[in-house]
Chains A and B, each alone.
Chain A
Amino acid sequence: MDWNAFNLSLQLAAWTLALLLPIGVVTGRWLAKTQTRARPWLQAFFALPLVLPPTVVGYYLLIFTGTRSPLGELIMSWFGVSLVFSFPGLVVASILVNLPFAILPVQRAFEVVSSELYDAAACCGMTPWQTFTRVEMPLAWPGVLSAAVLTLGHTLGEFGVVLMVGGNIPGETRTLSIAIFDRVQAFDPLAAGQMAGFLLLISLVTVALGYGVLERRERRRRRST
């Protein structure tokens, strides 16, 4: 069992979740409310990682954020880090491939908050921020929870884009899924099996806990109607 790789996977999941969830809430809410004609294109853009092979996303990340690209040079001069073959690069890649998991459930959740409740909140004297915290979020949180669970599970198991952008550097970019691949390549089925089973268990527990909370809420709601 490669505990370093497991630790790195957890760190990656935590960073991705911490940075992506606010982006998901803001973007998902905006997509739910906006009247812009560009909405189908924006939705398609955010959903792209669902249909594109991770290698394609990884390839473009390498091209646009490589040290020889203008963006890569800018990032290097500003922050002193390279986004390829490094942990920060993994976080950026992970955020990009997880965009649909963080945005789409949140968007659906905010879409069901009726416009009438916004009007009612304004006429109760609530500021837009109070409306967001006291009306929108309590109603949309199942969507936000779904987004968090999906993002967490998907990040823990992400393989293709991690390999393309980060390679396989122990302690820096070797996550649990890369370590499993590495062990299989090295004809070490026992270690690969242990790690695969562990990842399976963690993913199952994470997703089941999320669904459990949602189910309890739904049961409570049905009881009250």
Chain B
Amino acid sequence: MLSIRIENNTPALKVDFGLPMGTLSAIVGPSGSGKTSVLRAVAGLLAPSHSLISFDNDVWADTETRYFRPAYQRPLGFVTQSFGLFPHLTATENVSAALNHLPRRERGVEAQRFLELVGIGGLADRQPSELSGGQSQRVAMARALARKPRLLLLDEPFSALDHSTRKRLRVELKRLQDALAMTVLFVTHDLDEAAELSQNMVLLRRGQVVQQGPTRELLRRPSTVEAARLMNFANLAKAEWVGSDASGITLRWGDVLLNAEIGPKSPPEGQIYWTIRTSDVFLVKDDHPNESSLGTILSADITEIIEMGSSVLVSVIVARSGGESLRLRLRPGALHRHNVSKGSRIRIALHAQSLVLLQS
């Protein structure tokens, strides 16, 4: 377990979370949320006023006992946002710089092996100034891997790269992590990147953890309004608590009754926020019965259709909801199949399992 407990004033941080060994985890948050500072503290490049950082029961920093292991003694590799390649050294020499544990004569061969591992064996003699962004990123990755680190830290590793290079390197990172069975922790402000790569996710905002857990679970079920907003849940609405029984919770949204399977056991004070993913709002055929296994079926009028390549984002105003709107993500073919366009009245289904109740 990588265990991270940090309290600090400047930058303001108050985080306490653990991540399983051998997994790929992401810290996600907007700019200025403290993501990089957490990574730097784990690396030993930042000494917070209070911290307890341990990796696989090996303590790296503990301010209680005034223990601080310097960065060069921690078994980790770190790829920073701008890669930090030594400008006076070639690609091979940059990688060799991390091979201090080997005899000098073996370093060149080993460095070449790591450059080949990341697919740039032919660029060994290039200086950093002669490399493109993607190539520099690979040299930095080879250098970070060369120490055979137990923990690999990546700070927005793909942000400086073009779209196609980014996609290719994401696949390579996954492959490397599988092959080398490392624990990887990376920070990103790109939720899609985190969703695609990570098994665990930590949502960070203003130096504090908003939510943490397995990525799939987090993406499906944000626990708070803040988490839902951070993860760009487009559908966020307030409803009245009607009651709960063994089958679930009933809410009143305008004049509409909604059902949710999971939620708080007791009624909250005042209204409760709820959300549903755009891809979990289904379009229902006209001849489909109102009472069905699809969940609550509602009538709605389409106000906007935005085609986004592989999907279509449809905004609707839901009838009897008091003028509230929802968004649903459909496949392009679905629009033609259901023969709908802007202004059409459609029926949508909200399944109780997909309805997520949030803490304020």
- Closest Cβ–Cβ distance, residue B250 to chain A (whole Å): 54
Which residues in chain A, 197-225, are within 8 Å of chain B measured between CB atoms?
Answer: 221, 224-225
> Which of A117, A123, A225 has a CB less than 8 Å from the CB of B77?
A123
Is A120's CB within 8 Å of the partner chain B? yes
| Residue pair B43, A123 in contact (C-beta under 8 Å) | yes
Q: Which residues of chain B come closer than 8 Å to A124, judged between CB atoms?
A: 72, 97-98, 100, 143, 147
- Known contacts A116-B80, A125-B98; is-contact A224 B86 (Cβ 8 Å): no
Nearest CB in chain B: distance from A224 CB, A: 5
B8 at the interface (CB under 8 A from A): no
Q: Is the pair B100, A130 in contact by a Cβ cutoff of 8 Å?
A: yes
Residue numbers in A under 8 Å from B77 (CB-CB): 123
Q: Tell me the complex Cα distance, A135–B93, Å.
A: 12
Q: Per a CB cutoff under 8 Å, which of B40, B82, B97, B127 touches A224?
A: B127
> Closest CB of chain A to B71's CB: distance in Å?
4
- CB contact under 8 A between A119 and B72, given known A125-B98, A126-B100, A225-B129: no
Instruction: Give the shortest distance, in Å, between B50 (CB) and chain A (any CB).
Output: 22
**Judging by beta carbons under 8 Å apart, are A116 and B130 in contact?**
no
Residues on the B chain within 8 Å of A123, using CB: 43, 45, 71-72, 76-78, 144
CB atoms of B86 and A119 under 8 A apart: no
B44 touches A122 (CB 8 A): yes
Residue of A nearest to B96 (CB): A124
A116–B84 contact, CB under 8 A?
yes
B88 at the interface (CB under 8 A from A): yes
- Assembled-state Cα–Cα distance A139/B127 (Å): 14
Given A116-B80, A125-B72, are A139 and B129 neighbors across the interface (CB < 8 Å)?
A: no
For B44, B84, B88, B100, the residue with the greatest tally of chain A CB atoms inside 10 Å of its CB is B84
Contact A139 B98 (CB under 8 A): no
Residues of chain B within 8 A of A134, CB atoms compared? 97
Residue of B44, B97, B98 with most chain A CB atoms under a 10 A cut-off: B97
B87 within 8 Å of A (CB atoms): yes
Name the distance in Å between A116's Cβ and chain B's nearest Cβ. 4
- Closest B-chain residue to A123, C-beta based? B78
Instruction: Name the contact of A117 in the complex, choosing from B45, B86, B147 (C-beta under 8 A).
Output: B86
A36 in the interface (beta carbon within 8 A): no
**How many A residues face the partner with a CB closer than 8 A?**
20
| Residues 18-44 (chain B) with a chain A CB within 8 angstroms | 40, 43-44
- Asked whether, in the complex, the Cβ of B97 is within 8 Å of the Cβ of A126, the reply is yes
Which residues on B sit within 8 Å (CB–CB) of A121?
72, 86, 97
- Distance from B306 Cβ to chain A, minimum over Cβ atoms (Å): 41
| A40 contacts chain B at the CB level, 8 A cutoff | no
A residues 110-139 near B (Cβ < 8 Å) are 116-117, 119-128, 130, 134-135, 138-139
Q: Would you call B265 an interface residue if the criterion is a C-beta within 8 Å of the partner chain's C-beta atoms?
A: no
A120 touches B84 (CB 8 A): yes
Q: From residue B138, how far is it (CB to closest CB) to chain A in Å?
A: 15
> Would you list which residues of chain A between 135 and 158 have a CB under 8 Å from chain B?
135, 138-139
**4 interchain residue pairs of minimum CB distance:** A120-B84, A122-B71, A124-B98, A123-B78
Residues of B within 8 A of A (CB): 40, 43-45, 70-73, 76-78, 80, 82, 84-88, 97-98, 100-101, 127, 129-130, 143-144, 147
Residue ranges of A at the interface with B (Cβ–Cβ < 8 Å): 116-117, 119-128, 130, 134-135, 138-139, 221, 224-225
